[in-house]
């Protein structure tokens, strides 16, 4: 099968994931048989669930997915996304990226992802809980602490993970905290997990700044997205003395050349839910914000934001990807050509799954770590992956995304060759 024959996986995001993989595979001379295996997910489950709205009159049929890309490395790992764009191709792309991310970080997991095609912002708390519990029941045969461990992603949070953990635990008859990560600390969640993706990204922005000779205390940043990843990234950058000149969420972008105060934006969002109307800066569109001048541009929202269409107009020195898949292959070529440094998603946003791994280890050992222990281990794992990526990129004259991916792919390929073929 060739990547042009996508069939049920057909989706722009899956095309991107496959194209990135094939580019890396070609450069590294990956064994053709292994290449063919890794081009597609190993296991997928498509479910439909009845979703009863609060008013009891309507029952909707909602689609849900769980995809396990590679089962070679250990249990599979990856978040669950609630968004109205979710489909099998999107979830499969995200699962493939989880494989490279886990392998690059040297975590003992293969990649997975799940999703429900629903807009979570339109749901009441009770509706969100019902969707979550029914989705968990539908995929329950696929997940488990030694099989596949979900976590939050776009549109889900620690409360959703708590319901998932409860539903699973009710079925087996005892508490199983280690079936999911990113859950509340009282249920066995890890300290530092909520902010881990933003913290990890900022650790690597610091490393990149050193590498490029940028003085962060004199620099500016634009952060696209003000959810968990975006808001924490902005907060940690601000703590380092970076001037945050722009932020955005789905409702609007905000621009202030003198710098935005992240704590006051967080207060505003706590009261108003969205950034729109916030008087701290001038309103600009999301698209326009990306093209404003800054040192660090951190896309921390959706896929497909930096494209062949706008990459030429970016005015930043570094793109730090908090989101999964924010940059297309055409844009990568342009950024590379223009000498803009890219911290690719599989490296930049890997802090989340790394602390998820710590959470799973703590739960399976029944032994909890301190926040200092977690952050220093996170720092060690991420900077090590960063160093390996830079060394490879410089040695083999590769862009950073390809170098990071090859680091991951090579590990998976070695594991596959060592295990051999069954039957």
Of the candidates 235, 228, 267, the one whose C-alpha atom is nearest the C-alpha of residue 249 is: 228
Enumerate residues 6+ apart whose C-beta is below 8 A from 216. Answer: 205, 206, 209, 237, 240, 241, 242
Query: Which range, of 45-53, 289-297, 309-317, 349-357, touches ligand GLU by CB under 6 A?
Result: 349-357
Does 83 help bind ligand GLU (rule: CB under 6 A)?
A: no
Single out the residue of 324, 375, 400, 402 in contact with ligand GLU (rule: CB under 6 A). 324
Angle between helices 228-239 and 262-272 (to 10 degrees): 150
**211-270 binders of ligand GLU (CB under 6 A):** none
Burial of 156-178, coded b for 16+ CB within 10 Å and e otherwise, reads bbbebbbbbbbbbbeeeeeebbb
**152-211 binders of ligand GLU (CB under 6 A):** 153, 181-182
Is 113 considered catalytic here?
A: yes
Which tokens is 356 given? 């998820």
Rounded to an integer, what distance in angstroms lies between the CA atom of residue 183 and that of residue 373? 19
Rounded to an integer, what distance in angstroms lies between the CA atom of residue 242 and that of residue 195? 18
If the CB atoms of residues 149 and 413 are measured against ligand GLU, the closer one turns out to be: 149
Does 132 help bind ligand GLU (rule: CB under 6 A)?
A: no
If the CB atoms of residues 153 and 195 are measured against ligand GLU, the closer one turns out to be: 153
Does 11 help bind ligand GLU (rule: CB under 6 A)?
A: no
If the CB atoms of residues 194 and 356 are measured against ligand GLU, the closer one turns out to be: 356
Does 77 help bind ligand GLU (rule: CB under 6 A)?
A: yes
How many residues touch ligand GLU (CB under 6 A)?
Answer: 12
Q: What number of residues does the chain have?
A: 423
If the CB atoms of residues 78 and 281 are measured against ligand GLU, the closer one turns out to be: 78
Does 148 help bind ligand GLU (rule: CB under 6 A)?
A: no
Does 348 help bind ligand GLU (rule: CB under 6 A)?
A: no
Does 323 help bind ligand GLU (rule: CB under 6 A)?
A: no
Does 78 help bind ligand GLU (rule: CB under 6 A)?
A: yes
- Find the catalytic residue in 77, 113, 183, 416: 113
Does 75 help bind ligand GLU (rule: CB under 6 A)?
A: no
Which residue is closest to ligand GLU by CB? 79
Q: How near is the Cβ of 79 to ligand GLU at its closest, in Å?
A: 3
* Contacts with ligand GLU, residue ranges (CB under 6 A): 77-79, 151, 153, 181-182, 324, 349, 352-353, 356
As annotated, the active-site residues are 113
């Amino acid at each position: 099968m060739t990547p042009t024959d996508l069939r049920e996986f057909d989706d722009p995001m899956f095309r991107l994931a496959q194209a990135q993989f094939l580019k890396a595979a070609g450069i590294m001379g990956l064994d053709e048989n292994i290449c063919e295996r890794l081009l597609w997910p190993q296991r997928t489950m498509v479910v439909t669930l009845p979703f009863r709205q609060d008013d009891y009159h309507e029952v909707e049929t909602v689609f849900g997915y769980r995809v396990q890309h590679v089962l070679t490395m250990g249990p599979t790992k990856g978040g669950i996304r609630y968004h109205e764009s979710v489909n099998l191709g999107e979830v499969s792309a995200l699962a493939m990226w989880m494989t490279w991310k886990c392998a690059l970080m040297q975590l003992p997991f293969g990649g997975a992802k799940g999703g429900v095609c629903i807009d979570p912002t339109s749901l009441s708390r009770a509706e969100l809980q019902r969707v979550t519990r029914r989705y968990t029941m539908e995929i329950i045969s696929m997940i488990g602490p030694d099989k596949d461990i979900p976590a939050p992603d776009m549109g889900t949070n620690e409360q959703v993970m708590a319901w998932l953990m409860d539903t699973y635990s009710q079925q087996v008859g005892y508490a199983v905290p280690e079936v999911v990560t990113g859950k509340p600390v009282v249920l066995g969640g890890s300290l530092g997990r909520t902010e881990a993706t933003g913290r990890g990204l900022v650790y690597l922005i610091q490393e990149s700044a050193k590498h490029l000779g940028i003085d962060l205390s004199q620099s500016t940043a634009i952060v696209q997205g003000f959810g968990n990843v975006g808001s924490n990234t902005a907060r940690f950058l601000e703590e380092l003395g970076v001037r945050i000149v722009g932020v955005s969420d789905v409702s609007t972008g905000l621009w202030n050349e003198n710098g935005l105060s992240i704590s006051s934006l967080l207060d505003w969002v706590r009261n108003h839910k969205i950034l729109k109307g916030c008087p701290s800066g001038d309103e600009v569109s999301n698209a326009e914000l990306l093209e404003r001048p800054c040192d660090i541009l951190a896309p921390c929202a959706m896929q497909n934001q930096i494209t062949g269409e706008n990459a030429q107009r970016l005015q930043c020195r570094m793109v730090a990807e908090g989101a999964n898949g924010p940059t297309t292959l055409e844009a990568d070529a342009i950024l590379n050509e223009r000498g803009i440094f890219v911290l690719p998603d599989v490296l930049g946003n890997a802090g989340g799954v790394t602390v998820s791994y710590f959470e799973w280890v703590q739960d399976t050992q029944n032994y909890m770590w301190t926040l200092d222990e977690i952050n220093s281990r996170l720092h060690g794992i991420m900077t090590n992956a960063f160093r390996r990526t830079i060394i490879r990129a410089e040695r083999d004259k590769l862009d950073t995304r390809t170098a990071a991916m090859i680091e991951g792919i090579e590990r998976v390929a070695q594991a596959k060759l060592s295990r051999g073929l069954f039957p």
